[in-house]
Amino acid sequence: MQELLEKIDKSLLPRHVAIIMDGNGRWAKEKGYDRLYGHFHGVESVRNIVEGCAELGIEYLTLYAFSTENWDRPEYEVFGLMELLVNTIRKEVPVLNKNNIKLHVIGDMQMLPEYALMELQEALDETHLNTGLNLVMALSYSSRWELVNAVKNIAFDVQAGKIDPSSITQDTLQGYLTTSAFPDPELMIRTSGEYRISNFLLYQLAYAELYFTNTRWPDFRKDHLYEAIIDFQSRERRFGKISEQLHHEHAAH
């Protein structure tokens, strides 16, 4: 683990890492347990990765914890996940404060049960002065929900005369997204061997480097994170240009 850590170039860290934490259910099933047992163990991975990101000095970590579509899972699993979420958040606030971590949430909060909302709000209030890692939990989140919501709010503001449609730019749209206060993720990790985005940050991932691993989320630990970052650092991010231009720009600086 130490060796992997030493391979990371601290001057080339992604500012924002986003993770689709997938594979809890299969992890549990493979061991002959109930799916909820997998979610329960997934919490340990969350702790470990949050700590790992804070130690590295990463500024933003977004975790996809529950999608809008996940509401359609069997009631038993949805309820179990909500319970786990509320209990975990309640327990972790002192740890977040100790590590100077500021909690944020993105998603359709109106879908959450009242008790979960109250717990969340408390955790947000209690960590809002922290200045270290920004931990963004995507809860009841889906990118299409977010984009529709943004378009709706822009339309309302046009109607109210607050914005002129011809002045709308990428920055305007960005300002209406739930992630308006965060830079776009530079590295997106999905665990558990699925090669899809599943309605996660479709707009914001435009130029993110994507990293897929077969490791199930409950098995994902700091060394897996380090591997993903090392892989990220080996890639050439061209943003539409050609390689020579990038080297030229480097030389010019």
Report, as residue numbers or ranges, the catalytic residues: 22, 70
Q: Least distance from C-beta 176 to ligand IPE, angstroms?
A: 23
CB 92 within 8 A of CB 47: yes
Site residues, ligand IPE (CB under 6 A):
20-26, 64-67, 70, 81, 192, 194, 196, 198, 217
Q: Which does 91 bind (CB under 5 to 8 A by kind): ligand IPE, Mg ion, none?
A: none
- Contact mark string toward Mg ion, 110..139, x via CB under 5 A: ------------------------------
Amino acid at 139: L
Q: Least distance from C-beta 187 to Mg ion, angstroms?
A: 20
Q: Least distance from C-beta 22 to Mg ion, angstroms?
A: 4
22 binds Mg ion (CB under 5 A): yes
Residue with tokens 């990118």: 143
209 binds Mg ion (CB under 5 A): no
Q: Which does 60 bind (CB under 5 to 8 A by kind): Mg ion, ligand IPE, none?
A: none
CA distances to 54, 137, 143 from 50, rounded to whole Å, are: 6, 11, 23
Q: Which does 143 bind (CB under 5 to 8 A by kind): Mg ion, ligand IPE, none?
A: none
When the beta carbons of 22 and 209 are compared against Mg ion, the nearer one is: 22
When the beta carbons of 13 and 104 are compared against ligand IPE, the nearer one is: 104
Residue 154 and residue 162: Cα distance in Å, rounded?
Answer: 9
Cβ-proximal residues to 171 (8 Å cutoff; 6+ apart), any chain: none
Q: Which does 182 bind (CB under 5 to 8 A by kind): Mg ion, ligand IPE, none?
A: none
Main-chain phi, psi angles of 123, to 5 degrees? -65, -40
Residue with tokens 């305007």: 172
When the beta carbons of 145 and 200 are compared against Mg ion, the nearer one is: 200
CB 195 within 8 A of CB 24: no
Cα 7 from chain centroid (whole Å): 24
For the chain, where are the E strands, in sequence order? 16-20, 60-67, 102-106, 134-141, 187-190, 209-212
When the beta carbons of 140 and 154 are compared against ligand IPE, the nearer one is: 140
Q: What residues make contact with Mg ion under the rule CB under 5 A?
A: 22
